[in-house]
Amino acid sequence: MLRPNKDKSKKVKLTKESIQKAKGIFTYLKPYRGAYLIGWFFLILSTSAGLLFPFLMGQLLGGGSTSATPTSAADSVQLINLKNINTVAIVLFILFGVQSVFSYFRVVIFTNVTENALRDIRKSAFDKLIFMPMDFFNQNKVGELTSRISSDITQLQDTLKTTVAEFFRQVVIIAGGIVFLLFLSWKLALIMLATVPIMAIIAVFFGRFIRKLSKQAQDQAAESNSIIEESLMGIANVKSFTNEHFILRKYGKAIEEIRALNIKSGVWRGLFISFIIFCLFGAIVFIVWQGLLMTQGPNPELSSQSFFSFVMYTIMMGASIGSIPELYASIQKSIGATENLMDIINNPSEKQLLKGQLKPAILGNVEFLKAGFSYPQRSDISVLNGISFAAKSNETIALVGSSGSGKSTISSLLMNYYTLNSGNILFDGVDIQDIDVEYLRSQMAMVPQEVILFAGTIRENISFGKTEATEAEIIDAAQKANALEFINSFPEGLETQVGDRGIQLSGGQKQRIAIARAIIKNPTILILDEATSALDSESERLVQDALDKLMVGRTSFVIAHRLSTIKNADKILVIQNGNIIETGTHDELIKDNGVYNNLVELQGIELS
pLDDT per residue over 492-543, tens digit each? 888 888 877 777 788 788 888 888 888 888 889 988 887 665 566 666 777 7
91 pLDDT tier (thresholds 50, 70, 90): confident
CB–CB of 206/272 below 8 Å?
yes
Q: What is the mean pLDDT of residues 351-358?
A: 84
Calpha distance 252→224 (Å, rounded): 9
pLDDT reported for residue 80:
43
Q: How does pLDDT run across 271-304, given as a tens digit for each residue? A: 877 777 777 677 777 777 877 787 776 777 777 7
Does residue 312 have a pLDDT over 50? yes
* pTM as predicted: 0.67
For the chain, the average pLDDT equals: 80
Instruction: Please state which of the ranges 124-133, 197-206, 249-258, 532-541 shows the lowest mean pLDDT.
Output: 532-541
Cα Rg, the chain, nearest whole Å: 37
Q: What is the mean pLDDT of residues 333-341?
A: 77
**Nearest Cα to 531, choosing from 516, 514, 552?**
514
> What are the sequence ranges of the domains in the chain?
1-185+324-352, 186-301, 394-418+432-603
435 pLDDT tier (thresholds 50, 70, 90): very high
pLDDT reported for residue 10:
45
8 pLDDT tier (thresholds 50, 70, 90): very low
CB–CB of 113/39 below 8 Å?
yes
First-to-last C-alpha distance (Å) of the chain = 52
What single string gives the DSSP state of each residue in 86-128? HHHHHHHHHHHHHHHHHHHHHHHHHHHHHHHHHHHHHHHHHHH
Does residue 461 have a pLDDT over 50? yes
Of residues 139 and 491, which shows the higher confidence score? 491
pLDDT reported for residue 262:
81
CATH number of 1-185+324-352: 1.20.1560.10
Amino acid letter, residue 263: I
Tell me the CATH architecture of domain 394-418+432-603. 3-Layer(aba) Sandwich (3.40)
Of residues 145 and 172, which shows the higher confidence score? 172
Give percent above pLDDT 70 in the chain.
89
446 pLDDT tier (thresholds 50, 70, 90): confident
Does residue 199 have a pLDDT over 50? yes
